[in-house]
Structure 1
């Protein structure tokens, strides 16, 4: 085994959409910086970013009911929905900039207009959805949202879902035509192709084994070259750990104080996929339901139109499963290996507090193929088993940490950046809304880790992302301008909404 030591400015660990986004931002802001990427798989976007490993929803709170909540007085809190929507607008702006600058091409290969809908049944849920709609539709970010509890109108919107349905209880839906289906795998590959063309060094089949601080303040990353068996030591001023579920074990190796008292719980996912053209053509939209009572937010059932390699298909799920792996291509020892003396209590408290999640996972693991079809038939009453097959989706690691609000061992359902106090290293943990808000999250990384450069970068950032530092909900005219211009750049204009 030989050891080679090399020096660079930036190291990105993991060739997913987060590293691709950070690398693309930094290349525009500091083109002279040298960047290296290390990915243990043979190409980019093969884990969480891969098209079949996520639902491909451009998360902007147009259909996801878990982003709004009902207060004790019956009013609807939309603060989280507004936040997520604004964050997705940042992604649209940056992608549009890349397209208009000819840095990436053919946006229709990674993003397509697909209506976003929410669907509920039962009097109580219909009342909630009506209040949800009234509150959101008064907000500038959600203009154009429609509501209907008329079965005839719903037959126009969602014929496949309404066909054969017994209407023995109220049913209602909202619909927003400006929703999107995003192929994050295709986007990731486009971004890395762009970076490779701009002298970013891509190292595939290179597994990061260790990260430690050197005496001169740099970070040394120990990398195993899978093909030739050599170990290489690379040093950098800044390291970003964007390895999806694999980020937590690597963060722990850094031994920074901020890495302590954090654990992770892996959850795997399954989807049912339909490729029967006759069935696929009867549905156009991403239709999100409401999580069942006691089920975690990640369990919201949804029926999605997907475009992968320009082929249209339908996807239904998710069905949760359990694997001790932190990555789909990970090890069965990942979970055990992540338990350390400093996070043992955190993990034990989480185990005691999250009995409902444990029960849910056990129930999901026991589902037979027919039971999954029964859940699908709650959406598509006439669904036939022969038209649907199971696809194993990506592996997600839910962050567990001690918080003031939740106490020890609190399960986190968002995306979280953990960085050293001096900004020299950062890691991304967590899951949804993840990829949809990649630009917002990477701007957060830059603000934490490169504060000394943000002022000089501000003009360029605003060129790429016009709403940077501005609240769109408080500037509706700017929102309309940006939404129209990004729709045009990304080929999402109204004329694109008509499908045969």
Structure 2
């Protein structure tokens, strides 16, 4: 069975790439293979991620304090501009009636950073002063006044005994994004565009053929039947399962890369009164020795139209690369070409290993103690524990970090001829899906880019432009996104 494009995995990445390609090349035939019974059942599922529209408004790990005491906001600027591209593309889809009811997947919610202790307050104030004059972060407020904080976060300030400096930043222009709902909407749209969706179909192998196509062997999970599908281009967007498939592709660009799985838990509030008292996503600062993905945060979420309150994540370890994966995933990912890299990573990250073991051993009451740093009067009976998704952090050799460097972020690995690309890594992931999939398109379809550029700019007006340096365009795209996505009433348009 031949097709133009094969997408492996029915998550937000494949949904975004498929939707972009159907706009750019409507005549192309696309097939999607998903091992589970429906889209968005792994990392993209609303219960398997934090649901934060990552725009670096509150995530302190995106702004690093340098040796001279200054704050580097370069990564925050980059992530914010990438999230703006996602908002623009979603606006385009709503305007053109490709998806409906934006409030089913995106809601306005203030984003806040909260810290305690003299050093952390000084850091937060410097960060605020560095960011507030940047057009991307206009509207950000800072306060170290407990009375002001009571207005912003009453649930967190109730019964709090303030014995050391505390402070917070707040910006109205944040979002809560239900990536599971958005993914399902996009696949419904793709089905209407005659994309072939194969659920309960597991990709077992892939290899290059003599006529420069990719042969993808797919097993029907229900019947056991195995078929070969052929395509000019294959995208591997299988979350934690991408590394194994990248290795099976045999492309040299995938050699030497390993993966380290990290699982997560969230605590979910079951007390409606508490849920109503909190209306923000509040990010704290990771403890010393903790990985960036473990930054604690207290989140207002909107899932299936219902307001919820979650706290976490608590990191854990499982050798599985997917929540529905195999206990042998980690060991089978070790190959002759990456074994030294993996061993070096193990030696370098003993502190991380120790941290993960400690997290796995936590009792519910110990987790409650961490929650009480955010909500001093939190009661155990008001909170339930849920298991979130698996993330596989990339391990590779780098110039800066040396052999076996653990990477935190999202990474595209593409063949030199652009015939196959794989997405590896984790946060900010889904929030920057549009930017990352445009990167895939640029790498893999260079010959088509000239004719596609006008259409891309129609969908994403800021494509190829620095919004930080073009305030007029920034105001235009923010205004359009706010109006189209139903965010205008609650989200300041950040017009100077």
Q: If the TM-score is normalised by the length of the shorter chain, which range does it land in? A: over 0.9
The structure 1 residue matched to 2:271, chosen from 276, 281, 292, is: 276
Match of 2:230 in 1: 235
Q: Unpaired runs of 5+ in structure 2?
A: none
In structure 2, the residue matched to 1:51 is 46
Deviation (angstroms), 1:75: 1.3
Identify the residue that residue 154 of structure 1 maps to in structure 2: 149
Compute the displacement of 1:495 (Å).
4.4
State the match for 1:3 in structure 2: none
1:374 corresponds in structure 2 to 369
* 1:127 correspondence with 2:85: no
Instruction: Name the residue aligned to 1:94.
Output: 89
Secondary structure, in 3 states, of the residue corresponding to 2:128?
A: helix
Aligned pair partner of 2:15 in 15, 20, 35: 20
Aligned to 1:203: 198
User: 1:275: how far off?
Assistant: 2.6
Any residues of structure 2 matched to 1:94-493 within 5 Å, and which?
A: 94-493=89-488
Q: Distance in 1 between matches of 2:288 and 2:316?
A: 19
Question: How far apart are the structure 1 equivalents of 2:205 and 2:304?
Answer: 36
Provide the C-alpha distance between the structure 1 equivalents of 2:131 and 2:20, rounded to a whole number of angstroms: 32
The aligned counterpart of 2:29 is 34
Query: CA-to-partner distance for each residue in 1:103-144, whole Å, 9 max, x for gaps?
Result: 000000000001000000001110110010010001000000
- Displacement after TM superposition at 1:94 (Å): 0.2
The residue that corresponds to 2:55 in the other structure is 60
Alpha-carbon distance in structure 2 between the residues aligned to 1:400 and 1:19 = 23
**Shift of residue 496 of structure 1?**
6.8
Paired with 1:456 and 1:161, the residues of 2 have a C-alpha distance of 53
Over the residues paired in the alignment, what is the CA RMSD in angstroms? 0.7
The answer to whether the 8 Å contact 2:258/2:333 transfers is yes
Q: Deviations over 1:466-494 (max 9, x none)?
A: 00000000101211111111011000113
What is the distance in 2 between the residues matched to 1:135 and 1:477? 21
User: SS at the partner of 1:134?
Assistant: helix
Deviation at 1:295, TM superposition (A): 1.1
Query: Contact 2:341 / 2:403 at 8 angstroms: preserved in 1?
Result: yes
Contact 2:172–2:491 (Cα < 8 Å) also in 1: no
Deviations 1:300-357 (A, max 9, x none): 0000000000111111001011111000000001001000000000000000001111
CA shift, 1:366, in A, is 1.2
Deviates more, 1:291-300 or 1:93-102: 291-300
> What per-residue deviation string (whole Å, max 9, x for no partner) do you get for residues 208-257 of structure 1?
00010001000000000011211010000000000000000000000110
Structure 1 pair 74–339 and aligned structure 2 pair: CA distance change class (3 A): same
Distance apart, 1:456 and its partner CA: 0.3
Aligned partners of 2:173 and 2:491 also within 8 Å: no
Report the Cα distance in structure 2 between the residues aligned to 1:294 and 1:310, rounded to whole angstroms: 37
Equivalent-residue separation in structure 2 for 1:333 and 1:82 (angstroms): 39
1:451 partner SS: coil
Between the aligned partners of 2:299 and 2:167, the Cα distance in structure 1 is: 18
For normalisation by structure 1, the TM-score amounts to 0.98
Q: Secondary structure at the match of 1:481?
A: helix
Cα 1:281–1:102 change in 2 (3 A) is same
**What per-residue deviation string (whole Å, max 9, x for no partner) do you get for residues 343-388 of structure 1?**
0000000000011111110110111110000000010000010110
Structure 2 Cα separation of the partners of residues 292 and 207 of structure 1: 39
CA distance in 1, matches of 2:391, 2:64: 24
Aligned mates of 2:490, 2:23 — CA distance in 1: 32
**2:311 and 2:114 mapped to 1: Cα distance?**
14
The DSSP-based 3-state class of the residue aligned with 1:452 is coil
1:438–1:494 distance in 2 versus 1, CA, 3 Å = same
Match of 1:74 among 69, 74, 79: 69
Measured in 2, the distance between the counterparts of 1:70 and 1:481 equals 32
Counterpart Cα distance in 2 of 1:496 and 1:278 = 25
CA distance in 2, matches of 1:61, 1:146: 14
The 3-state SS of whatever aligns with 1:279 is helix
CA distance in 2, matches of 1:246, 1:232: 20
Taking structure 2 as the reference length, what is the TM-score of the superposition?
A: 0.99
